[in-house]
Every structure is written in C-alpha cells, then in structure tokens.
Amino acid sequence: MADTKIGAYICKGCGLGERLDTDKLESIASGEGKAAICRQEEFLCQQSTVDKIQADIDNEGINRVVIGACSRRAKFEAFNFESTCVSRVNLREGVIWVRPDTEEAKEATQEMAEDYIRMGCTEVKFMSPPSASQEQSVNKHLLVVGGGITGMTSAIEASKAGYQVSIIEKTSQLGGVAGQLHRKVPSRMPYASPQDNGIDDLNNQISANSNITVYLNSTTTKTSGAPGRFSVDITTESGSTTTENFGAIIQASGFTPYDANKLPEFAYGKTPDVVDQLGLEKLAQEANGTPIKRPSDGKVVENVMFIQCAGQRSDKEDHLSYCSGHCCSTSIKQAMYFKESNPNCDAAVLYTDLRTPGAGGEDFYRSAQRKGVTFTKGIAKEVVAGDNQHTIKFTDLILNDEVDLAVDMVVLATGMLPNSGVNIDAPPAEEGSVEIPVESILNLDYRQGKDMPQLVHGFTDSHFICFPYETRRTGIYTAGPVRRPMDINQAIDDATGAAMKAIQAIENSALGKAAHPRSGDLSFPSFRMEGCTQCKRCTVECPFGAINEDEKGYPSYNESRCRRCGTCMGACPVRVISFENYSVDSVGQQIKAVNVPIPDEDDENAVAKPRILTLACENDAYPALDMAGMNRIQHSAYVRIIPVRCLGSVNTIWVTDALNSGYDGVVLLGCQKGENYQCHFVKGSEIAHYRMSKVNDTLTTLNLEKERVATYEVAITDIQRIPQLIDDMAKTIEDIGTSPLKF
Amino acid sequence: MGNLNTTMIEKYRNSFLHEVEANVEEGEWVKMCMQCGVCSGSCPLGPHWDHPPQELFMMIRAGKREEVLTSSSMWMCTSCYNCIVRCPRELPITHIMHGLAHYAKRLGLVPENQQTEKFAQLFWDNLTNTGRVNELKLGLKLYFMNGFGEGIKMSLKMQDVGLNMLKTGRMSPFELLGGHSIKDKTGFHAMLQKAKELEDAKIAKHGA
Amino acid sequence: MTDTIATNESILVIGGGISGMTAALEAAECGKQVILVEKTPSLGGRVSQLYKYFPKLCHPTCGMEINSRRIKANKNLRVITMAEVDEITGNAGNYNVSITKQPRYINDNCTACGECANAVEAKFDNEHNYNMDKRKGAYLPFNMAYPQRYVLDSGIIGTDDADKAKAACRYDAVDLDMQKETVQLNVGAVIWATGWQPFDAANIQPYGYDRYDNVITSVEFERMMDDFGPTGGKILRPSDNKEAKNIAFIQCAGSRDRNYLKHCSRICCMASLKQTTYVREQYADDGKATIYYIDIRAIDRFEDFYAKVQADTNVSFIKSKVASITEERGTGNPVLHGVNTEGYDRYDNAHDLVVLAVGMQPSVDREKFPVEVITNEHGFIERPEGSTGMFAAGCASDALDVNRAVQNATASALRAIQVVNRFSKTEV
Amino acid sequence: MAKKEYSFYPGCSSQKAASSSNYQVSVDSMCNELDIQLNTIPDWNCCSASIGYAGGGELPRIALSARNLALSEQANPGQDVVATCAACWLATKETKERLHEDDGLMEETNQALSAAGLNVKADQKVRHMVEVLIEDFGYDELGKHVKKPLDGIKIAGYVGCQTNRPFGIDGESFENPKYLDKLVETMGAEPIEKYEKKVQCCGGALAFSEPEKSQAMIKDIIEAAYDGGADMIATPCPVCQMNVEVYQNHINKKYNTKFKMPVVYYSQLMSVAYGKNYKESGLNGQVITPEKLSIIAKK
C-alpha cells in the first residue's frame, strides 16, 4: 500500500454546522484521524469546493478522502473522485436527521458524529484504489448452445452487433421445435392468421453469415474457464472433440414436449386420432393446405376438439403443475388450420381459462371466433377411442352439463419441460434408489455442478423480477423455454436480450469489471495463500461458483466469474481473503476506532453509554436507514452503523472483536432469505444467519447474554421498522445491563 | 311450418350454430360471445329468463336446438338495449333475441300461451292492416287474446285505464270504425308481401 | 454522469421507467454513450408507484435502488428529466432530435435538505399518489426519487411561495428565472420506452368510478399500501375512512372490451391475485376478497401463485363480467350486480370497497409520436422490421409485466447497439 | 334565429285521440315558439316499434321504416328526419344504419319497396326532437325563450331506454345521461340529482303482455322519484310516459302504495315555460294532473 495521505473535509451545510461542534470533528480528523489536510466548509458539495478537493488530490498528494457530510447515496456524483478512495461519513441522514434537536440530546449526538469521523478516517487508511487484474483480454467470440429458434436468433442478433458466434446443435439440423411447425402464431398486426414459422429465413441468414459457425450433431462435453476465457470441448456424435475459446455463453437448449403417453385417460396411444400439438403440426404439414385427414383411416376430419391443459395445471402425479403459456394460442392457431382448409369442419377448444394475453393475443382469439372456431369452458374427463368416431366425455362448466361428444380427432394441448440438464441442487439419491442419469447440457467444470442452477420446475429463470438476466454463473445466460415456459415471440425477445447480456459480459470481463449488481466494480478479492488452511468454505459458499479448488485443495479464484459480494471474505476463518477497498481490516478497524466509554466505577450517577454495532446491507437496509433519516424518524444515539456489501461478507471476527472491545450489542441487518430470497448475492443473508447462530458459543464463553447479538431480515421499505429494531436492542441492553467487557 | 322445422333439423343435424347463423337475424354474431355474462346481468327482466342470452348462445353452440327454440326466454326481451351497449364483443343481442323469437315462431315452436308472442302478433296484424296502429282495437284484442272469459275480466280490470284515456282524449271510441290509416294501403301491403317472399325464399333455400 | 456531447454513436432512450432505465443501463454498461430522457422530475415510472411485485411479493424500490446506483456510477449515461422529445428527423444511424426541457427551478446545488418544502404553503395534487392526496409546491416526488433533487411546482412561480422557497435555500439552488430550453441531439438509434398509463376508469360508466367514492382503481389501491402513501399504508375506503375488509376485484376493467380497450392488458389478473394478499396481510382472517373474472390469465409459472391464492378460503372467484354497480343507501357499500356464468347464478353482492383492475394503455397516443412509428390498432409499437433505428422497449411495445418489460428492454438495447455499431468504427 | 325545417315522423301514438296526442300538442306549441317548421312525412306508416317481430320478419320490419325514409326523401328532400317518439326514432335510425352496414340488405329492401313504387337511399340524418333542441339550438338559446320559469318545481328526469341506448343523445353516458336534467334546469325547474332509476326500463311493450313484471319495475321508477322529493317525472318517450302514468292505481292496489306521481313530457315543461297555456301545453291530456305545472300554465 502506497503511503496514504488523508484529506478530511467536513461540511457545515444542511444544519450540520448548527447541530454539531465541527471544530471538534476537525480536530479529531487531524488528530486521531491523522488527516494531512482537514477543512470545514459551509457548502461542501458545491462545485468550487469540490474543485478545491480535487486540487488537493492533484497538487497536495491527497490519495484518501474523507467526506464528513451526507449519506453516500446523496451527492454521489459530486464526491466521485477518480482513482481515489473516498469514505463518506454520514453526518446528515445518519446523525442529525435521526436525532432530536435538543440540549439533552446534543452530547450523545456529537459523540455519534465524532465516532463516525474516526471510523471514516480509519476506513480509508485500510483502503487502496482498485485496479483491474488484466486477467482477461477481449474475446469477441460467443457460444450458443442449442440451434432452435432461440439459439438461431441469439446468434444472428449477436453477429449483427459485430461478434463472432458458434452454434452447437445436438441434432442434424437447425430449427428445433419451431422448425417442426406448419405455421406459427402471428407476431405482427393484424394478428388474425397463422404465419410462416420463419426458420428458412433464419437458416438463410446464418448460412450467408461468415461470422456464424455451426456445429451439428454436437454437444458440449466440457466447459471451463470464465467470462472472457471460456474453454469449451465440442464433441460430435462420432466422438471427435475440438476445443474452442469463448468470451461468453448462451444456453438455448429449449424444451421437450410432455410425454402424452402419461395421459391414457385421453386415449393417447390407443388411437392415432388422438395427437398432441406437435403431432398435429406434422399432419398439417403433410396436408399442406388441403383438408386435414385423420391418421387412423385417412378420412377428412369433420370435427375436432382441442383439450387444453392436458396434463398441465394439475396436481395429479406425473402431471405438470404449471401452465406452459403458449398452448391456448397454439390450439387457436391449429383450429384455424382446420377451418381454413375445410370451413365445414367443426373445431372446438375445450378450456378452463383461455389465456391469450397481450395486444395480439386477444385479436387472435377474436379472429378464431370469426372464423367459426368455437370455445367451450369445461373440463375433459375421458376420451374413449371408437372404431368410427371417438367420444370425449367432459363437463360443460357454463351449462353445468355432462357431455359425451363424438369427434373424428382429438388434440391434446400438453406442456413443455425444460432441457436444463442436471439439477445441481437436487438432494443426493437415497441408498438403493435407481437414479435415471440426466444428460448435462454444459458439463461445467465448476465446483458447484455441471449445469445452471434451476429456479422452479426445472426452469433456469432468474430469481429477480427487475433482473430477468441475473445469472448465478457469470457470463452464461439461458434463453428461451429452458428459462421459462414461453411462446416463440417471447423466445425471440429473450434470445436477443440474452445476446445483449452475453456481449456485455464479454466487454466488461475484458476490462476486469464486475457484472450486475456491482456492475463496473474493479475490486476483486485476493487470497493470502500462505495463510490458507484449505478448509474449502470459500469455495463451497461462493454463490456464483467463482472459486474452484486446485488439486491440493487450495482455492483457485476466477476473477471474471466473481461478483464481488465478499461472501468468501466472510467465510474465511483465517481471514486471508480481502479486497483492495473492502477487507476484514477496513471494517474491523472501524469497529475498533469507535470510542467505547468505560464507566467510572466510583461515580454513582454516571449514565451508562452503551455502544451498539450495526452492520447493514448496503442494498436494502442502509437505503432504508437513509430514508428514515429523510423522514426524520429517530433512533438510538448509541448505535454505530457500518454498511457492508452483503451480509454474507460479514466475518464473525467483526462481531467477536466488537463484543471483546466492549460493545454492548450487535445488530445485523440483511435481506429476506429462503425460498423467495431478496439477497442480491443469493445466499448472503442466509449464510450470515447461519454463522451468527454459531456466535452463540462465543457469547457463552465470554459469558455474555445471547440477546446481545440479533440478526434480522429487513426490506428496503422497512423505513419505520429498522430504527425500531435498533431501539429494541438499546432497550434490551437497558434491561440486561451494559457489557462487562469494558476496560 | 312444422315440416320446415323437420327440414331444418335434417339439414343442420350436427350444427344448430350453423342453422342459427344462416336463418336467424344477426345470428352470425352468436359465435363471437366469450361468455362474460354482462348481458345476462344487465337485463331488467333477467330473473325471469330461464336461459339468459349468454347461456342461450352457449346452448346454441352446444346444439341444444329444442331447448333454445321452445324456450320462453327470448320472449322476455323488453328491447331496453342494456345488453347491446355493455357487450364487450359488440353482439347485437336485442336483435338476436328478436331473431330467435321470430325463428321459433316460424318453426311453430313457441311455447303454449306465450303472452308476448300473442301480443306481438296482434300488434303486427294491427299495424299491417291499415299501416298504422289502432290503439283501441289493439287494446281490446289484447284483453280478449286469452279467450272471452279472460277478456271480460281484463276489460273490467283495465276499465279505469280505458276511462282515463277517454277522459283525457288520448283514446276515442270512433277508432273502432276504421280509424287512422295510411292512404296507399295497396302499395304498402304489396311491399310487405314482397319482403316476406324474399325472406321465405332465403329460408327455403337454406332449408332445402 | 458527464456532459457527453451526443454523437451519432449515441443511443437515445425516451422514458425513464424501469424499461427505459434498463435499456439505457444495459447499453451504457456495454460501453455505449446513452442519453435517457424522462418527462417527469424523477426516474422510476409506474414501478415506483407499486407496493409489491407479483409473484414474489418483493418491493420494486429494491430494484430501483440498484438501478439508480448503477446510473450514478455510470459515466456513459446522461439523464435529462422534465424533458420531452418534440421532433425527430433523419434515419437509422443519424437522427436529429429536438428536446424541450421544462424548468425545474432548482439547480444542481440542491442538497435535498428540504428547507424549501418547509418554507412553502400552497398544496397541489400529488401525482405520485394518483392525486389521492396533496403535496407542497416545493417537493421531492418520493422517498426514492432520483435525481435526489427538489422541484418547484410551476404553480407557485410568481407567488410568495416562490420567494419563500428562494429565501429558505442557503445553497442558491432555487433559480426562479429558469426558463424552458430546447436541446438538440444527434444520435444513431432511438428507443421508445414511453410505457403505459392506467385506463381512465371514469369511462366505464356502469361501474360508477366517477359517481361512487368506494369504487377505486388497482393503481390507487397500490398507493394505499405505502406507509408514506395517502392512507399511511392502511386499506381504508374513501367515503368514510373505514377499514375495508371485504373487497371486490373486477377484472377486465376497460380491457378485452370493444367499448374501451380491445386488448388484454395481461397484468391485471396477476395484479388482483397479488392484491388479495394485501387484504390478508392487513386484516388476516377478517380480510375477504372476491375476484370477478372472465378468464384468469396467470400464464406459465404464475400459475403457482394462482394456485396459492385459490387455496385461500377467504378469496373467492366468480366467473362474471360485472354488469353494473349501485350504491347501497346509508352504508355507502358498493353493490355489484351480475350473473355467474358458471351454472347461471344471479348475484347482488355488497362489498366494503371495489377495486377495478384497470387496463394498460400506451402512454403516447398513436397519433402523437413526433416521428412516424408503426403501431398496431391498440397503440403499441410493432416489432422492428427492415433497417430502422427506432425500437420500442417495455410496455410501449405490448401490455407486459415488469419481468417481460425488462426482458424486452434488454433486447431493444442490443437492437440499438447493432445500429450504432453498424455506423461507427467499432464494428468488428 | 331563422326558421328551421325538418321532415317530421309523428308516429302512431301521436295521432289525434291517440295515447300521446298530448305530447304532440305540446311539441307543436314548443316548435311554434322556437320557429321550427315540421313537415310531416306524407302517408307515413308505423315502424312496428320493437315488438313486431313475432309476425314480421327482419326484412318486412326493415321495409316499414325504409318506406318512411323513402317517402321523406320524396316529399322533404335534404331534410333531416325528426321523430318525437323514442321507438319511432330508434327503429328508423337503426334501419338507416343497417341498410348501409348489412351487405345485400339495401338491395333486398329496395326490391320490396319497388312493390310500392318507392326507392330508398337513406342518406339523411335520423334524429330525435331532443337532439334537434340540444344540437341545433343549445341550452342557452332554449333558455332565452323562457317567459315563465318553472320556479320551485322538482322534477325527476326519467330518460328510460330508447332515447338513451344504443345511440344516446349528445354523446352522453348510457348510465347517467344529463340532457334531461339540463333541459329541466334551463326551464327554471330543479332536477333531482342522483335520480336512481333514471335509465331503468319500464317494460316497454311488455307492459301489455307481462303486466306484473313491468309494474314491478314501474313501481321502482316512481318510488325513486318520491325518494328524490320529485313533484313530477319528465320523460322524452311516449311509452315511458304511458307506462309510468296510467298504471299507478293498479300498482297502488297491488303494493298498497299511495302513488299519485304526475308524468309529463319535456315538451310540456318547455311549452309552459315558454308561456303557452294549459291546453296548448297538452296538460289536459294528463291522467294525473301536474299541479305545480298547471298553476304556472294558468297564470
């Protein structure tokens, strides 16, 4: 670390001057804080003043800046000094706005401010400006796994932006399921009739495009490396393998149609006249515009019924609980095949909820009605195969009627299952149970498993509403029906969106920049290997699979896979992991910097001044605290709050150190954990809760009450609740008394 | 008329919907219904319908020919047009109800003693006779449309109304003798005759 | 943010809702110069007015925080608020855009200390709360507002309040002479992220939104759940501020209806299902919800959420487009009239409160785009075709939920990048 | 203002000694004040209202109104067809629209008409008298003619069905039209705000065939007027007027109510306000005398 020269700047604006003894703060900064330059300003964030700070950096060799003013969330642009570490001491939202403006409150409020100045000066001492590792270089080559309409679209869209693409397709041709469609649901106004499936056009674009290479009859047998330097083994059916390097990967492995043989109640397999939707596409293609004939005897179909949600939206065993989204429109489209080639054919759709959302959807539904397709709200119970005609037994929910309908053909609208490969979170199979081997899609050479983590029902969707492309394997994006049940139109958008993210990953990994949510962060953890005990906690707990283990069991870190959350830092029992600007020391030393008053034994009427350490997630808890300040919602003056990247980065040493140095309580504020977790780094909050449960032992050995440490799940909207939680801890301390460990 | 009914049954054996589309006023709209039920909920006489409009449409699709055509439901339509203005799918429901009623009548399937059917027929006969409605005759016919005994009862029951109308000069006994009429009755009747022929021809064509 | 001078290698994003923010950020984080133009004083759009998202029931402000942090930290991105595009000429790779910027009357000096708001008196309808309450004439639009800078309502300009605001500001941030200005830009591609507006429920006459206090819209209901909203986070009915525990949700309020919006707005079914959980969250077992629907459109894995709500015995479902609403004399209870079409049952149901699941209407009237844009009859911008440099993102392109809107916006960012790459040297 | 001329379709009930002859009397007085000349369509015929469908098929019913349109084109070329009866207006306007919308209908209809030596184009506007008042004069102009403001009379504006749906007047809402209240106000009387049964159906022609069902609805219509504190009900429709006025005795017997609610036409209010006397305003045609209105008329 180059020798540090601290400049501390204290603002007197926004009431800070009136409420606080800023001279005292200045003397602390220059004294204990060892700030080389220290100034008070009436209006720190105004351009002229900011320019003066820049001048100190440029001319006075200031390389660490402490801003004693408002929250880090305010005036960010003003105090964003290039290549200089800045500590924002939150005197406004964090101190005067959460304290009453009264004489009796003054002292405690001032102490708060003084401690925060001490903490800020300490923090910058232990920070150094991050710089990229240069580990990656630009590799503008993108891999697309899967050559269906999604993969083809991703490839074409990426190449249009000037990138090289290789498509790996398992079968002998591109096109996937879309290629088997006679026509597709319209994607343009007037949304009235089926349109060409578009695969030929995509094929032509690809074969004419020198930037796109296609590997047919091939699979990925090994994927290692990291964004910017993925190394992938591509193996053909014949077994020959070539290895290529890629900057990023898109997984468009598509879906497998639900096996209609699991629906004997609908006579599938008993007669060829009962088909699933893909089966009907085949018949329509053969008929090619002429009236569709039924498979059993080639008779022109005069009446056909479509059974929606066949084996879907059902809790029966072997059925799918979810809705596949596209099937209503698909049946409508297929009913049109019949109507358009033979107006006298009766085509009826049996549904419970007709789902054609969006602008085009309802137009398409109306268009089908206009063409004479009829719709019946009802539940199919059974299809009985006959020699001449087949009978559908269903309940008509509108007429409240049990109906036996004779038809020539039945089409089952069955669902889609994602081709997502191995479920890496699946519990290990019990002894003796026969495991059906699942073929991996990516064969990732990651400690965390061969394929992409799954969200639900096997789909690899993102966990976040706002961030559909949030991925737990940096630089690898899934798109199309493998990610979520979807129709072709959505798959095309999804393919394009995934291509966008993949390109972004290529560009940013080359610059050593982190991906979302710490987009652009250049800091990355370094491992002091000589201290490492190969305990593997960092490799196990990394939510993004950034850390492998080398043959000796040492962590081998992949910078561009890393999301900079610090979970590894929090996990390390021997504290060998740290970031340039965020480390066990940069936080730990702040904790130590706080002045913990030692009660004067002799003085009877000395008031106890407890200290509470609060470590708050910077994504949700800290902003909520800010907004509490903005709304002047007060909390205890005894608390000292430190924002952390994620609760997962909290190393238990911070907690034990705090308690050892006389703090009376510790409050950890993280995000919601569990099934609907809100933690932006997946498991941070959960891991923290787990680690804290272990701290109890430490507490007992120090014979401290376990109430002194509390961990909470909070939301960014808990603007009123969080101050309350802090006050609760203050109350607890009042009840159980201050810590005995003050000396 | 009865045999027209059988012809129609023959022709449209497996699709009452097609029959309605071909032969009922505005019948081609029936297929556009999405079963939201806003019409059924909007009808002022709703509670008196065995089968509200949206249900009739579903029954038509389900081929419940007999039940639909012999139902008294569509005869409950007061022509208030609530259903039409609220229908999200633009179905001219009032007209379809009139159309179904007329078609049922044509096929001789109207339930016994359907009061509105009787009155509507009286009204038609009355107006087509002279080209203009003769309210007095219409009134009297109305009272007696359910037989002489009923007629006397009705007349007595409605006496006050009649007297009031006479007193206020809104009814005149002289209407019994001829009364209001258009001049060109011949042309008028020829026109209606022609219109009827054209319509019957269409139905016959479909029926054939 | 820096004062990038736009060039034909820059991308213009119109609309600062979640779709616009996403499109802008994805492009900027890919190294592109981006200008984001927003009509209102702050970013966030409709999403900032939501309490929770379906199906996860998490808080939109959480993603907003991340996105505004991304924007603060990104030097490729320039945000212009209170601005609207009034002309676009040229073609793909080279558009000339003229933008009109309304005066904010508050400059960059603003520290968001709030003294100006304390000083002024006049109150105005609070658009953030759909005018359910009032705000001061000097205000921060909402807690999370970005830019975190106050605004003076043009309504106070020329009044004492304006002078009071100026006097109260110690940082010379209040500039009463600020004028509306025109900004000229040259950009390579344009992204329309102009979003949606709730359909005006007053048009649905049978439901009497304009006549009955206790008939409100789904977007207003969202605001009721905000601790800092018009009702302080309580579900209260407007007529008498009584707790509303028995609530009716009417689906397709304006959607799937030739009298109003012919299209299906997609989100309303899920929104109402979500809002039934608000009722339960607040009133536990006393909370009752009834959903009147035509089809429940909980597609794909949303079905799981639908199943969860269906399992709640306090929530009932009636397949019916409600025919009309009347007001019960004395109680002020709205009474819903209609027919359950599953088996033909008539109902006249009284509820404490009715929530109309209002439809999504494109914010920009299809006739009012400042340049020719291809829209469908519903006013949504059609998928790009041919060599255009203009793309829709999010709900400008279709009625979409947040997740799909962001997905679509991410795609549109790439489409825009393709254009600028094609016309710049950066092409490989 | 210059004289305005219209092609007038009176309709059966407005004829001498017919059920709404009093309506016609008041319309004449009103028009005379406003300098409106109504050129009656020569030899006009019945429109079959909305109840001819048992005997008459679609085409014959269309032909009825088509004949009137054809005669109007002959006798009063270029003039809008104006009707005072809601049913007449609706049937004629619907016919005009469907002749242009339904393919083949125009041709078939003219085939039928040719049997009467007629031919129809149906290009003219078909309007209700109220539209003429609102669109061609406007409330302000109508107000200028008021000589005896109807002070202190509370009036429930009962719009009913067929002037309101499906076409509506002046683009107003189907659920809560205001035009009648505005007219009432313009004449100096006080409209009942929130008259709940403003657009409730009275049963129309079914008052004859389904008297109980209709009278149940009529009861609500009158009750709501009383609840609103109305002195009388005003309506633009002959069927509404008759149904709501003449069955009150029967309703009183059945539900033992004490209804005695006068039901007048907007044109009678205007005629009186315009200074016409009791008879000129057709008030002698009321079964239940509207006292407060009569007093003003007799002043």
Domains within chain D, CATH numbers bracketed? 4-128 (1.20.1050.140), 146-298 (3.40.50.11810)
Is D210–B45 a contact, with Cβ atoms under 8 angstroms apart? yes
Q: Is the dihedral of CA C114, C116, C120, C124 positive or negative?
A: negative
A664 assigned to some structural domain: no
Alpha-carbon distance of C401 to D36, in angstroms, equals 58
Q: What is the ipTM of this complex?
A: 0.96
Per-residue CA distances from A272 to A302, A336, A341, A386, A415 (Å)? 16, 21, 21, 11, 19
Q: Is the pLDDT of residue C427 over 50?
A: no
Chain C's closest residue to D199, CA to CA, is C206
d(CA A212, CA A200): 16
Sequence-ordered list of residues with C-beta below 8 angstroms from that of C217, at least 6 positions apart, any chain:
C130, C198, C201, C209, C253, C355, C356, C358
Q: Are residues A2 and A115 in the same domain?
A: yes
Q: Are residues A242 and A262 in the same domain?
A: no
pLDDT tens for D176-226 read: 999 999 999 999 999 998 899 999 999 999 999 999 999 999 999 999 999
Nearest CA in chain B to A351: B34
Q: In terms of DSSP bridges, do strands A164-168 and A85-90 run parallel, antiparallel, or are they unpaired? A: unpaired
- Taking contacts as CB-CB distances below 8 angstroms, the residues of chain D near B140 are none
**A661 lies in a domain?**
no
Question: Which residue from B minimizes the CA distance to A346?
Answer: B15
Distance from CA of C211 to the nearest CA of B (A): 18
Q: Which amino acid is located at C416 in the chain?
A: A
Question: Which residues does chain C have within 8 Å of residue B38's beta carbon, measured at their own beta carbons?
Answer: 321-323, 338
Token pair belonging to A494: 């999804």
Q: Write the burial class of residue A265 (CB in 10 Å: 0-12 exposed, 13-18 middle, 19+ buried).
A: middle
Give the pLDDT score at C423.
Answer: 85
Q: Are A7 and A122 in a shared domain? A: yes
Domain closes at, from A75, A103, A129: A129
Looking at chain C, which subunits does it touch, using at least 3 CB pairs closer than 8 Å as the criterion? A, B, D
Q: How far is C83 from chain B (nearest CA, A)?
A: 38
Q: In terms of domains, do A248 and A284 share one? A: no
Does one domain contain both A371 and A442? no
CATH assignment, C199-360: 3.50.50.60
Under an 8 A CB cutoff, do B32 and A398 touch? no
In terms of CA atoms, which chain D residue is nearest residue C210?
Answer: D176
Q: CB contact, 8 Å: B132 with chain D?
A: yes
Looking at the structure, tell me whether residues A385 and A404 fall in a common domain: yes
Residues of B in contact with C206 (CB under 8 A): 42, 86
Q: Where are the domains of chain C?
A: 11-102+180-195+363-423, 115-168, 199-360
Please tell me the total count of domains within chain A: 4
Q: Is the pLDDT of residue C4 over 80?
A: no
In CATH terms, C11-102+180-195+363-423 corresponds, of 2.60.40.10, 3.30.750.24, 3.50.50.60, 3.30.2310.20, to 3.50.50.60
Tell which phi-psi region holds residue D86, choosing left (phi > 0), alpha (psi between -120 and 50) or beta: alpha
| Confidence grade of residue D157 (pLDDT, cut at 50, 70, 90) | very high
CB atoms inside a 10 Å sphere around CB A342: 17
pLDDT of B70? 97
Residue C66 has φ and ψ, to the nearest 5°, of -60, -45
Domain boundaries, chain B: 2-112, 115-195
> Domain end: A74, A108, A129, which one?
A129
**Chains B and D touch each other (3 or more Cβ pairs < 8 A):** yes
Q: Is D49 at the interface with chain B, CB within 8 A?
A: yes
Question: What stretches in chain A show pLDDT beneath 50?
Answer: 1
- A342: domain CATH number is 3.50.50.60
Nearest to C31 among A74, A359, A507 (CB): A507
The answer to the question of residue A318 being in a domain is yes
Quote the mean pLDDT of chain D. Answer: 97
Mean pLDDT of D15-31: 96
Our CA-based measurement puts residue B145 at a distance from the nearest CA of chain C, in whole angstroms, of 33
State the nearest Cα–Cα gap between C326 and chain D, in angstroms.
9
Task: Give the pLDDT of residue B174.
Answer: 86
Could you tell me if residue A689 is inside a domain?
A: no
Please tell me which residue of chain B has the smallest CA distance to C258: B88
Across the interface, whether the CB atoms of A366 and B58 are under 8 A apart is answered: no
Q: Is the pLDDT of residue C6 over 70?
A: no
* A694 inside domain: no
Residue keyed to tokens 């609207």: C84
> D175, C324: Cβ pair inside 8 Å?
yes
B58–A contact, CB cutoff 8 A = yes
| Per-residue pLDDT at A149 | 98
Q: What is the pLDDT of residue C7?
A: 75
Q: Is C46 on the interface with A (CB under 8 A)?
A: no
The reply to whether A11 and A67 lie within a common domain is yes
Do A238 and A279 share a structural domain? no
Distance of CA A417 to the CA centre of its chain: 22
Are residues B89 and A376, on separate chains, in Cβ contact within 8 Å? no
Give, for all 208 residues of chain B, the pLDDT tens digit.
Answer: 457 888 888 877 668 999 999 999 999 999 999 999 999 999 999 999 999 999 999 999 999 999 999 999 999 999 999 999 999 999 999 999 999 999 999 999 999 999 999 999 999 999 999 999 999 999 999 998 989 888 899 888 999 999 999 999 999 988 888 789 999 999 999 999 999 999 999 888 876 5
Query: What's the pLDDT band for C3 if we cut at 50, 70, 90?
Result: very low
Whether A4 and A87 map to the same domain: the answer is yes
Q: Count Cβ neighbours within 10 Å for each residue of D261-291 and write b for 16 or more, e otherwise.
A: bbbbbbbbbbbbbbbbebebbbbebbbbbbe
Q: Which residues of A touch B17 (CB under 8 A)?
A: 374
Q: What is the model's pTM?
A: 0.96
From chain A, pick out residues whose CB is under 8 angstroms from the CB of C112. Answer: 74, 630
Contacts of A403 in chain B (CB under 8 A): 62
Answer yes or no: do A77 and C343 touch at CB < 8 A.
no
Q: Which of D209, D212, D246, D250 would best serve as a mutation to test chain B binding (most B beta carbons within 10 A)?
A: D209
Q: Are residues A103 and A171 in the same domain?
A: no
Report d(CA B41, CA A547) in Å as an integer.
Answer: 64
CA distance C211 to chain D (A): 9
Pairs of CB atoms within 8 A across A/C: 248
Q: What type of residue is A263?
A: L
Tell me, what's the pLDDT at C216?
Answer: 98
My answer on whether A291 and A372 are in the same domain is: yes
Question: Do A278 and A397 share a domain, yes or no?
Answer: yes
Mean predicted confidence (pLDDT) in D73-87: 97
List of chains touching D (3+ CB pairs within 8 A): B, C
- Tokens 């999804």, located at residue: A494
From chain B residues 5-34, the ones with a CB under 8 A of any chain A CB are 14-15, 17, 31-32, 34
Q: In terms of residue numbers, what domain contains A557? A: 526-571
Q: Which of D69, D135, D129, D56 is nearest to D100 (CA)?
A: D69
**Residue at which a domain ends, from A364, A384, A415:** A415
Most B CBs within 10 Å, among C339, C342, C344, C349, to test the B interface:
C339
**CATH level 3 topology of B2-112:** Fumarate Reductase Iron-sulfur Protein; Chain B, domain 2 (1.10.1060)
